[in-house]
Amino acid sequence: MRTSVLLSLLLALSRLFSVAQTPDTTIYDVAESLPIPLMARCQLNQHPGWTEDSIRRCAESQLLALVATNIRYPEEARQNNLEGTVVTSFVVEPDGRISGIGILKDIGGGCGAEAARVLAALDEAGLRWQPATRTGKPVRMRQALPLRFKLQEALPYYVNTAGDSIYVQLDTLPNFKGGADSMESFILNRLEYPAPYLDSCRTGIIEMALLIRPTGKVEVDNQLDFNNLGVDFQWQALRLANRMNGLWTPAFYKGQPVITSAPLRVLFKSDRAGCRQINELFDQAMLLANEAVALTGQNELEKSIAKWDAALALHPGNTEFLYYRGSAYLSLNKRDEACSDFGQIKNILGITWFESLRRLVCGW
């Protein structure tokens, strides 16, 4: 009798323990706090005094904008002039990821599949959610997200932060007077290597985005010092760009001269005899980089990465090389390797020119 009672108690305790250890796999439709997408610009510590509703509205708005910029309008829908709202459904897991992506309402033409693709891609890229909670514990919860598909004619320009309309659709491109050979000669003869650094053998490329106005005036919109050459080199690159004022014929759109942007890359190499070997290594690295770019275009990503590896061995710390290698890793779904390269760029330069992508993929 005692053995039977003891056995019953042990079985009851065993069942109780088993229940306590079983995770809650229920998918809830109602919770005390709802899921919120974790968007960088909508964190509570950045907005003291905001309520949870304020954070949610901000985050949902940012999410919809992020989705909109990543949607590729399906060609079938475009050809059939299909517009409307696709309603997606998914489960926000306790770890902040999403699962079970489905379509509650579709408009056809591949729009539903495209909406699901974008949500899955953002999750894979690292977008996370603050999960729903019940009795203070994170739980699985179903979410519905309506996504608007609307056809619209692309504008021929974008507006920069200064309010200028920068045209991207052009009838004729801007042109350096005398053509490409003349510009190459101009750069070669007018770019000055900072004298205090001639024996340092610093070698690298600075790229600038030039705004070319209808008058031929040139302004530098932004500058990327890929090899962290420093302020003196950046200053000399700016001086060169300013010396190009009046040497450009502007771009034209529908018969009118317009503002547009053109890239300008300048190479700094010291002509001191002691720098010859470093210059040769840099030239070899650039040849390897060109081969890597060609392999990427052929979708030979593993071979491309091997070329970037070799280029970086010859010219370590080249942030342009690191960016392209990281992008190749990302295309192969090797997020840790990509984030390692992107993190190196931030450590070298202090900033990245692709910070929104880096944060989305790698977090803060």
Residue range(s) occupied by CATH 3.30.1150 in the chain: 23-149
Give pLDDT tens digits for 210-255.
999 999 899 998 899 999 999 999 999 999 999 999 999 999 999 9
Asked if residue 6 has pLDDT above 70, the reply is: no
CA distance 39 to 279: 44
- Return the CATH class of domain 274-364: mainly alpha
Asked if residue 362 has pLDDT above 50, the reply is: yes
> What's the pLDDT score for residue 242?
94
Asked if residue 17 has pLDDT above 70, the reply is: no
Query: Which amino acid is present at 273?
Result: A
> What's the pLDDT score for residue 23?
65
User: Could you tell me which residue, 158 or 175, shows the higher pLDDT?
Assistant: 175
User: Could you tell me which residue, 203 or 48, shows the higher pLDDT?
Assistant: 203
Percent of the chain as helix, strand, coil, to the nearest 5: 45, 25, 30
Taking domain 23-149, whether its CATH number is 3.30.1150 is answered by yes
| Residue that is written with structure tokens 């890229």 in the block | 125
> What's the pLDDT score for residue 22?
56
CA distance 207 to 157: 22
> What's the pLDDT score for residue 41?
74
Average pLDDT over residues 335-354: 90
DSSP string, 249-311: EPEEETTEEE-EEEEEEEEE----GGGHHHHHHHHHHHHHHHHHHHHHHTT-HHHHHHHHHHH
Q: Residue 361 in 3-state DSSP? A: helix
Side-chain half-sphere exposure of 284, counting CA atoms within 13 A: 14
What confidence tier does 29 reach under pLDDT thresholds 50, 70, 90?
confident
Q: Which two tokens mark 168?
A: 């991207």
pTM of the model: 0.60
Asked if residue 61 has pLDDT above 70, the reply is: yes
Residue range(s) occupied by CATH 3.30.2420.10 in the chain: 155-271
Asked if residue 7 has pLDDT above 60, the reply is: no
CB 194 within 8 A of CB 236: yes
Percent of the chain with pLDDT over 70: 92
Q: What's the CATH fold of domain 155-271?
A: TolA/TonB C-terminal domain (3.30.2420)
Q: Residue 159 in 3-state DSSP? A: strand
CA distance 85 to 204: 49
Asked if residue 14 has pLDDT above 50, the reply is: no
What confidence tier does 157 reach under pLDDT thresholds 50, 70, 90?
confident
Asked if residue 153 has pLDDT above 70, the reply is: no
> What's the pLDDT score for residue 42?
79
Give pLDDT tens digits for 64-79.
888 887 888 888 988 8
> What's the pLDDT score for residue 99?
92
Asked if residue 33 has pLDDT above 70, the reply is: yes
Give pLDDT tens digits for 252-311.
999 999 999 999 999 999 999 999 999 999 999 999 999 999 998 888 999 999 999 999
Question: What is the residue-averaged pLDDT of the chain?
Answer: 87
CB 237 within 8 A of CB 208: yes
